[in-house]
Structure 1
């Protein structure tokens, strides 16, 4: 400090110099001074701030570690970080594992932008899309919020909607600016990027852990995630994490119109960009970039597991929109799996929710793509046979997509003399019940063939504690009955103590039973009882999904609820009737039907719905308008799989004989007037069988009962108040779930879509609405809040 300088002036000068050195080091990768000079300036600043504490500001380089350890200020050392709801959800990416998947992605993008792209050239080449090419770092995605140029909050991705507040820890990452450089930045700016641990730091950290007898990290990703969630920020600082930005989540005001230009602007504001960032025109250029990065992957100073391609133009991104929780305009092209050799020590068998007995390989631990692998999936016994696997074999292990360990191949020439065969147990390893091989029933054109399936199942059902625990865990999960506080460990306790022997038993639990469980006190006990009570009124779709019907996921459960309207109909529905529902094939239909045919399953459902347990299903109603009178007689004949009878011959037959009774009673002469002799004989032979006549009449009777019969009254979808309108739901609704809002809008004739376009009639925006709301404003689409939606529904006689 010169004689003429004040302490405040020198402090300001030092901060500016250190900020500039940080920018040159982390952003430009052009350090202008040796580390020793940087350290000297840092020590001088720290000494001056110690002498003049009134001049310390939060954005000073010395204040990156400025908070006490959470364990020192919070009542429990394992307390969770505070939740943070993202202004705009942090979505995951779809994956491509080969060139064909990339070509399909590019095709979908070009089809989605067909009206926006220029025509192809005279040689028949189609239009090409401009992409940004970015590395997919193996780290932890974070959100950084800046207000008036200062970092005010850092958060993890979490579940995409809600993350954890890690502000104190991200401040310790030196490549993350505490205040923005330059000018022109928005008053409110949310930047997204990846916190990662460089390879050299990962190796240093593990070497120190080994020297101290501590636990090592499996890979840099785990090390980064564990470091950024330390309760003591000073520990995070010692881990020497780094950061690259990959985009903007939210910004007040306008930003450049392309992804690459936005990243360049972020760089000017002080954010580090990955040096491998490039632009590619067309999918072939993307594939070339992928190959180039694959070659240099091992030379990079950090771990990556693929590359990310994003449509460069932001307006094109908005046009393409999103699918479920993935953008349609981006994809992660993952690298091929890494493979290693190891020894198969044993094969154990696990029992899943549906009773499937699955072999699991226990391996001699081996490092595969940076992760220690000691277990691997074997899928089923057919896979064991295909591999020719024996215990003691040397095997090739692969991490598929760098995630799931798999046994790929046996090295037969290394098989030891004492190798043992892998035998499926005849009794369940958990409950001792018999293990049976599933049978596959194939029905086609009047014939039924039975073959052995690949799955072995324990027949103990809920008597088997493994199945019971998994069934309960699924039943209480967030997307099912949503009973908060019933984690896996609590479910295991309830089952092990005999307090819960079926899902219905959850609703008879009392205070004295729960408080005796490990980890429960008065408040947590009352909270769990309250959560159980709050789950007594699920939507029909949630309840159907919670039942755990094989092959029935969340979307199929919604489809069943929306289409058939009542649980009784779903339970009674014949497989042939279920196939009238869109996207329900014969195999799924038989799984649903067989589930509800099972006496034990019906007993559990009846117990859940009886007054003692009090589960009251919501939103039950009529068969959907789309299914009303949807069946035709010729279509039903096709579903009966009569040999030689297809759609054309069935139409000819119905044109002559216009009722099922007439067709059943028809003789050969009547049938040969419209069918070939072979077809006529097939129809006659089919209906000679009493079981076939009975089935046909049962299907027709059920179609009549459900209002789906060709003689049923057709509901006019067009006559409904919102018919022909496309609506979009976004954000969080308080008065009802989005699933319920969707069902109620559909009951009024609306189509509910996942993306906003010029054809969208209205967008319902709840709390924290994001890109869909922004696009609605851009396209001048009408926007409605939740209160307005509730009023609209009430005006049409539908309560919230």
Structure 2
């Protein structure tokens, strides 16, 4: 795109182009044209339509960052969770009540009031260590008090655009948060004032307060607008979350969750901070669409390992544009912990807009759910192991065997074998062990329902194409508990198939990323699968190609927890392996690094690693920023 292209455009096209480049530059930080060409674009529009609203519109005026200001105390991010189990796990680490309040989706700012109580300085959150000076601009936000009766304090809060104001901008801007962030940074404070921004305080520093409640009382006395809040017992947090979720649609600001903070400041001090977030506060985020519905019934599903999991049947509810009728209840222990009953009112979410989850029980139903004493698939007795229920005869259980077969064909990428076809193969005795896929004949396949010659030929061809397998793929296909992609890679590094099969638990436990629990499952699984392995090896040829990658991370094991801000988890794992490192499966005393994502959401892995460190363990808990420094060395 060049200046002559802009000159040929209509006024409407020019206005659209200015808006597009504004968003690319300021909101997405991905400009497509130089500042000089952008200025030429604006000038062309100015000549064609001097009174165009776009010329005085928000972000086109924000072209440079303002003066940097160092925060007196870091403005840390909040750790995040997406389910009640994680919330309760966090709450088990401290004593006393918690303060709950909506998490407003705005622009975090810091307001300093001097020895005379006058607003003397304001800054954006920025990096958390330093922000951008916006003192002149906040004077244009009417709801921010310019004078207090108390002195030398810092008020922290969110500048936001009310949804009622945002209505007139929604055709141009993606969301009110981006608009507020641009408006508060205008070069001309008068333009900031034109956008009718508002402010809510969420913290107060510099007073003698002993609790969060006392801080809120001071904010109220000083007439500083603050978010609604409620002091809660720890077992009331789930109900408060559901309360805010229900009233979310009626609020005049965007909220993306609920913030919970330990009430007593003495307890906050004891808990302390990580480099990323305070341990005494947590954001319980709305994830995808959420709504309440009724739990009508529970069905029981059998997996390839013989595990029997409860599946909730709910009254149809629309979440993220899809009608949801079923939801996983995970396991018997979790179902009992939630107190799930038939007829219960439950909170449902689609995590990431995809997977439906039951997050909590809002109101109990009147019919208890009985745990099955026999397997719903084969009728064999069930057994309870901790939180899990199992079929005692998985080798003869249809659902368990079909799950095993489905795992095998998926691991080998053999196309065409759906669940119904796999059921037929098992029920007619054509495949009772995964090795028997290689023994199927054309005539046998033709016996099956809806099977024609063309399909039978195609299926046999797909199987024959998988006569040569990498050792890594072969190990994954066996369906041994704990042996996924990463564990298979680690085993291939250890040795060839014969060495792996003869390894002891003690030998495998010393491998980076394995540990004693995984080693036990691997040795046990290989022993159980011995005959299957021998039969498979009559049909396939294995290739053993251990990684030859060497680099700065050679010999070091890594594990990630929480959400990464800079890249997807898969990319981070690939970068570790490209630098010679290995990915671990779980936190053990042999782990070298646990990387905590900067977007929060760390859970039990972090807790276990911290416990190991206290016991003198070697694991290093590092932030995402520290990880990025390591892999760029």
- TM-score category of the 2 structures, normalised to the smaller one: 0.3 to 0.5
Normalised by the length of structure 2, the TM-score is: 0.44
Greater C-alpha radius of gyration? 1
